[in-house]
Structure 1
Amino acid sequence: MDVAGAGRAVVTCRGGARLRIAILAAGAGGMICGSCMRDNALAGELRACGHDAVLIPLYSPLRTDTADNSSSGVFYGAVNVWLQYASGLFRRTPRFVDWLLDRPWLLRLAGRIGAQTPPAKLGDFVLSVLRGEDGPQTKEMRRLIDFLRTDVKPEVVSLPNAMFIGLAGALRRELGARVVCELTGEDIFLDALGEPHRSEARRLISGRTGDVDAFVATSRYYAQRMAEYLDVPAERIAVVHPGVPQRLIDAPRTAAEAGGALAVGYLARICPQKGLDRLLEAVGILRRMPGMSEVRLRVAGYLGAMHRRWFEMLRQRVRRLGLEEAFEYVGEVDFEGKREFLDTVDVFSVPATHPEAKGTYVLEALARAVPVVLPATGAFVELVEQTGGGLLCGAPDAQGLARGLAELLSDGQKRMETGRRGREAVRTMFTTRHMALRMLEVYDAAGGQRTGGVGAAEGVSGSGGRGADYP
């Protein structure tokens, strides 16, 4: 691939080719999710590189915090997919009925309802989707393939996660396209399925891995995790970390309030899995340390209906701890709101209870020169080690978090130096432009050897080497 002097110039692949790329992205039912933001940014950057990238929503319309790069229509609409699973009648309905059921407002409503359903209750439905061309939603598959064949003519089709791997064989066979499957955190959902659905889902996914030309994980940790989880050779999984927009790095920093109290920031989905309750406990401990009595906790992020009761219980805990004046929830924020929020905090922490596959919010904080304090788990380890932008706590508990927060909050010079170091690392290695260039290498390599795995083509390596494993 020719990337020399890329800047904003055209970046071509093998033989000077410009690729036609179809990026399938699974909507999150009205929630701004990390995978949607990643796919949306990737499509925009690939176009800026001179490639024909089409972003196609699945299930529901995409919602991101920047301009929407997706096409207008939704495929595999959540309502149609569910009804075709539940009843043979809807597998034979005419297109105008399906069109009505694909209205954006209805899909958003269905997404919100679906988000409140525990995975353990969705086992049979999940298996029906994983069966792909052998499942009950073949009408949806045919509509998608016909659209791709006539309107997009892709050379590469990117699946949003392994839950759609049942489509890979038909896409590859009927379109002659390279099929790339992203791995972005689906193990959490799969592990939440009840038995026997959990084991059957893993069996179905593992049985379809041969239909995929390349897998892409969002961290080295997750590449290793999924190689074992799905019984895929490690060399078949490339690593391409998420990226943040250049303008998040370059925007002038909002002036801090003179004499304001130090603040710890949390910017992620409001749910137990992200560890906000643990961070609250850590801040309570922190405020009892010398010189830390005025530290505040500022929180932002999406709060879904499923977790509102949990969050209200957390607020009650805030009151019991006497931290009402120290705790502030500002709600969900858009891109500009995110920048402004990060500029008001001095240290950032999202002590997730499950190892993170991506950790995009870590890079966002570092882009604003805000150092991070995180558990030494999942993608956090490599992100902190590669950026030098924070501290890792050995044990993911409140005491360890409090000590790490205190170390940075009590030393202004160290805090600023750590933040600046992290920001420069993001600037040089973790922008959306870097992400797009690395994905182009994966697409290029997948075309070089259809059955040999990503690592077999032109030096692009999986989780254990270099090449697509950046940085």
Structure 2
Amino acid sequence: MKLLHLTPGTGSFHCGSCLRDNALIKALRARGHEALMSPLYLPMVTDAEEAGEGQPVRVGGISLYLQQKMPRLAGMLPDGAKRWLDDEKRLRWASKFMGMTSPHDLGEMTVGSLLGEKGKQWPEWSALVDWMEKEARPEVVSLSNSLLIGLAPAIRKRLGVPVVVSLQGEDAFLDTLPEPWKTQAWELMRENAKSVTKFIAPSRFYAEEMMRRLEVGTDKMEVVFNGLNFDGYAGSRMEPEVPTIGYLARMIHGKGLTTLVDAFIELAGEIEVPGVKLRVAGAVTKGDEAYLDGLRAKLRNKGLLDRVTFEPNLSFEDKVKFLHEITVFSVPATYGEAFGLYVAEAQACGVPVVQPCHGAFPEILQMTQGGVLCEPDDVESLRRGLVQVLTDASLRRRLSEAGSAGARLHFSSGRMAEMFEKVWA
């Protein structure tokens, strides 16, 4: 099968979707498929063996922004100027300002993309479809997430091939858009869904959620659990001498970092866990810095800042090292996560996890048996869960062994590719 997979890059930090996409394409190639991954917006940031290496960014984020905001100027730019704007160095520089875009601009850009051929951005997207039609010539087009769904009608019309769309938690983003963008975006999502051959959800929870939100039936929805190549996560694990809680995700309120910090503050006074530390790692943009300054101030006022480290934008190697150096892991997201690849990563490294009982987390932990659940957005419940794991060595050992085996069994890239293949069939 000749597959073209379109995936947005981040330009400057790792993200779960990029890691998942990279692992998927490499695993599909290992199964004999001709799979090509093409980045959009910004260059990819992933592990050392990038599946899309050598592929240029087909639709540059700067050019796309100009097309939406100043379409007349964008239309007058010579090809040389557009190549200059879409240069990898320029795009990586622009990526540093992610998170500083106003809610109005985010809404406008999102709806502009979902409008497809009717939107101001279409000259940029049309060039991508031209390339697909004349050069790439795929048998299947795979879209990394449903925010790219505005392409589906044109792909079906001009290429006449199936369009498969992965779902990666887009509702959490769309629901934060201000009106009228939020309502318009969901209306366009439902309209464009008619041109999609199959949706792929990373959990049963999210399949049901998005069938309702997109108004599609079971005939259009399949569940393919996210997966990774866990060979890169191998390493010797030794618990730290001082009990250490680890967090690895985007450093934002929505991922539950405020809840975790508050639980840590309560936990720091426990006699049962003397000297407990907190290590916070993950993606940070300029727009996140004010929020993090507020957390540091809160910790400083409690006299606990010296027991907390913030480790932004780790390399892949440093991330794996981080996971091998903590006692327990928690990302208590405030919303129902579609999957939570960070949980699979932690468990693959043998780290017990404490996660809220909502979204896909109950489903994941039922499969791996590698963690315990707490109540969502509940500082006291999270504190109790962390104490339970931190103070019971035999429990940690059982969770570590079960989680490591379960993650590799259910969430490997090979299994993901095999399930993805069945969707095509």
TM-score tier (shorter)? over 0.9
Q: 2:33 aligns with which of 51, 54, 58?
A: 51
The aligned residue for residue 466 of structure 1 is none
1:81 and 2:57 matched: no
In the alignment, residue 38 of structure 1 is paired with which amino acid? R
The aligned residue for residue 322 of structure 1 is 303
The aligned residue for residue 427 of structure 1 is 408
| Residues 217-232 of structure 1 mapped to structure 2, 5 A cutoff | 217-232=201-216
The aligned residue for residue 414 of structure 1 is 395
Cα distance change, pair 287–124 in 1 and its aligned pair in 2 (3 A): closer
Moved more, 425-434 or 147-156: 147-156
In the alignment, residue 230 of structure 1 is paired with which amino acid? L
In the alignment, residue 360 of structure 1 is paired with which amino acid? L
Cα distance change, pair 307–427 in 1 and its aligned pair in 2 (3 A): same
In the alignment, residue 436 of structure 1 is paired with which amino acid? A
1:109 and 2:90 matched: no
CA distance in 2, matches of 1:72, 1:362: 30
Describe the SS at the equivalent of 1:127.
Answer: helix
In the alignment, residue 41 of structure 2 is paired with which amino acid? Y
> Does structure 1 retain, via aligned residues, the 8 Å contact 2:97–2:287?
no
Moved more, 165-174 or 142-151: 142-151
Cα distance change, pair 108–375 in 1 and its aligned pair in 2 (3 A): same
Describe the SS at the equivalent of 2:37.
Answer: strand
> Does structure 1 retain, via aligned residues, the 8 Å contact 2:14–2:313?
no
Q: 2:365 aligns with which of 363, 384, 400?
A: 384
Describe the SS at the equivalent of 1:357.
Answer: coil
The aligned residue for residue 443 of structure 1 is 424
Describe the SS at the equivalent of 1:333.
Answer: coil
The aligned residue for residue 456 of structure 1 is none
| Residues 70-149 of structure 1 mapped to structure 2, 5 A cutoff | 70=52, 71-86=54-69, 87-149=71-133
The aligned residue for residue 150 of structure 1 is 134
Cα drift, residue 411 of structure 1: 0.8
Describe the SS at the equivalent of 2:246.
Answer: strand
The aligned residue for residue 286 of structure 1 is 267
In the alignment, residue 36 of structure 2 is paired with which amino acid? V
CA distance in 2, matches of 1:226, 1:90: 35
The aligned residue for residue 147 of structure 2 is 163
Cα drift, residue 374 of structure 1: 0.8
CA distance in 1, matches of 2:277, 2:232: 24
Can you give the 5+ residue segments of structure 2 that lack an aligned partner in the other structure? Answer: none
1:193 and 2:177 matched: yes
Matched residues, percent identical?
38
CA distance in 1, matches of 2:19, 2:92: 17
Over aligned residue pairs, what C-alpha RMSD do you find?
1.7
Describe the SS at the equivalent of 2:343.
Answer: helix
Cα drift, residue 410 of structure 1: 1.1
CA distance in 1, matches of 2:404, 2:185: 40
In the alignment, residue 381 of structure 1 is paired with which amino acid? P
TM-superposition CA deviations, 1:361-407 (whole Å, max 9, x none) = 00001001111001111111111111111001134311001101111
TM-superposition CA deviations, 1:431-471 (whole Å, max 9, x none) = 11111111111122xxxxxxxxxxxxxxxxxxxxxxxxxxx
Describe the SS at the equivalent of 1:265.
Answer: strand
TM-superposition CA deviations, 1:197-219 (whole Å, max 9, x none) = 21111111111111110001122
Describe the SS at the equivalent of 2:175.
Answer: helix
CA distance in 1, matches of 2:106, 2:95: 14
Cα drift, residue 256 of structure 1: 4.3
1:373 and 2:354 matched: yes
Q: 2:49 aligns with which of 59, 67, 71?
A: 67
Cα distance change, pair 121–133 in 1 and its aligned pair in 2 (3 A): closer
In the alignment, residue 432 of structure 1 is paired with which amino acid? S
CA distance in 1, matches of 2:235, 2:62: 44
Moved more, 59-68 or 322-331: 322-331
CA distance in 2, matches of 1:60, 1:159: 16
The aligned residue for residue 452 of structure 1 is none
1:37 and 2:24 matched: no
In the alignment, residue 94 of structure 2 is paired with which amino acid? A
Cα drift, residue 278 of structure 1: 1.2
In the alignment, residue 182 of structure 1 is paired with which amino acid? S
CA distance in 1, matches of 2:178, 2:311: 36
The alignment's TM-score, normalised by the length of structure 1, stands at: 0.86
Describe the SS at the equivalent of 2:123.
Answer: helix
Describe the SS at the equivalent of 2:96.
Answer: helix
CA distance in 2, matches of 1:155, 1:39: 18
CA distance in 1, matches of 2:257, 2:311: 14
Cα distance change, pair 237–290 in 1 and its aligned pair in 2 (3 A): same
1:238 and 2:219 matched: no
Moved more, 107-116 or 348-357: 107-116
In the alignment, residue 416 of structure 2 is paired with which amino acid? M
In the alignment, residue 253 of structure 1 is paired with which amino acid? S
TM-superposition CA deviations, 1:229-263 (whole Å, max 9, x none) = 121224422111211222145x2314445xx1111
CA distance in 1, matches of 2:400, 2:173: 33
> Does structure 1 retain, via aligned residues, the 8 Å contact 2:125–2:151?
yes
CA distance in 1, matches of 2:257, 2:48: 25
1:304 and 2:285 matched: yes
1:335 and 2:316 matched: yes
Describe the SS at the equivalent of 1:115.
Answer: coil
CA distance in 2, matches of 1:123, 1:414: 46
Can you give the 5+ residue segments of structure 1 that lack an aligned partner in the other structure? Answer: 1-18, 445-471
> Does structure 2 retain, via aligned residues, the 8 Å contact 1:286–1:293?
no
> Does structure 1 retain, via aligned residues, the 8 Å contact 2:282–2:314?
yes
The aligned residue for residue 457 of structure 1 is none
| Residues 162-181 of structure 1 mapped to structure 2, 5 A cutoff | 162-181=146-165
Cα drift, residue 141 of structure 1: 2.5
Cα drift, residue 92 of structure 1: 4.9
CA distance in 1, matches of 2:317, 2:93: 26
Cα drift, residue 77 of structure 1: 1.0
The aligned residue for residue 450 of structure 1 is none
1:252 and 2:235 matched: yes
The alignment's TM-score, normalised by the length of structure 2, stands at: 0.95
Cα drift, residue 114 of structure 1: 4.3
Cα drift, residue 109 of structure 1: 3.0
CA distance in 1, matches of 2:313, 2:128: 33
| Residues 384-403 of structure 1 mapped to structure 2, 5 A cutoff | 384-403=365-384
1:209 and 2:193 matched: yes
